[in-house]
Amino acid sequence: MPKIKVENVEISVIKVGGEDYISLTDMVREVENGSALIEKWLRNKNTIEFLGIWEEMYNPDFNSPEFGGIMAEAGTNRFLLSVKQWIERTNARGIVAKAGRYGGTYAQKDLAFEFASWVSPKFKLYLIRDYQRLKADEQRQLGWSAKRELAKINYRIHTDAIQNNLIPPAVSRAQMNIIYANEADVLNVALFGKTHQQWQRENPTLKGNQRDYATINQLICISNMENINAVMISDGIPQPQRLKRLNEIAIHQMRVLSQVDNRDLLK
């Protein structure tokens, strides 16, 4: 579960229906009688109005007539409203109550920011800043994952070229795997400077292979090299010549990609 940290307070973020929901409970966990602040916030007429407007904008199942009755009661001395009552009476979905290990009251990010502002304008600004950092980290990870998937797809092109040009007829599956692994190591040596087995010996505690720990630029480069190597295999170029050429390409492309990073063109 992702967390954001605001003034040394860790705040959980969960997904509900594809939307980010931020823990109101975590926001006030370090505050004396913090849980009471959430219900105190819900008693505020302006809060009820804001929540109702949000629900009417984004929740087609919102019970607007019941909301009208709550608005009529709000602001009086006798008015009380818990999170559970708000959800049950109006079929609201902007605020949810979770049980279990990560239990507590969560609110969709727009509503969570409003609650943070009510607690402290300074706290809200720090919350928004760290939430934005979290989303930026997620986008970087998404970019890495996309490049990793591209490398896997291009690797299929690479293996097809090996199968069609390097694997003789009537060989065993074990022999085929040796040929595939040998050609994969051509790319590994060209880019990373070591074979898969060498990397494993140097990193006995890590799972997978060096491509699972590559940077985005390395994944872009390996994807390009898989296509280039597939073409060179089809053209009948011997492996030593291909390795030398692929290493030159790797050095050049990594240099270019590092310059692209500095121009923010990959972000």
- DSSP E strand boundaries for 59-216: 95-98, 104-108
In which element (H, E) is residue 23 found?
strand 19-23
pLDDT at 141: 61
Look at the pTM and tell me if it is higher than 0.75: no
pLDDT at 191: 86
Find which of 69-73, 141-145, 227-231, 259-263 is predicted with most confidence, using mean pLDDT. 69-73
pLDDT at 123: 81
Indicate the SS3 state at residue 98: strand
The distance in angstroms from the start CA to the end CA of the chain is: 24
- List, for residues 52-76, the tens digit of each pLDDT value: 999 999 999 999 999 999 998 887 8
Mean pLDDT for the stretch of residues 120-149? 72
Q: From CA 6, how far away is CA 144, in angstroms rounded?
A: 27
Mean pLDDT for the stretch of residues 166-192? 71
Higher pLDDT, 264 or 27: 27
In the chain, what percentage of residues exceed pLDDT 70?
A: 78
Mean pLDDT for the stretch of residues 89-99? 90
pLDDT at 266: 42
Evaluate if residue 265 carries a pLDDT over 50: no
Evaluate if residue 261 carries a pLDDT over 60: no
Partner residues linked to 96 by β-bridges: 106
For 117, the token pair is: 């502002």
pLDDT at 252: 83
In the chain, what percentage of residues exceed pLDDT 90?
A: 18
Closest CA to 14 of 84, 105, 90, 76: 105
For 190, the token pair is: 């060209």
Mean pLDDT for the stretch of residues 73-80? 82
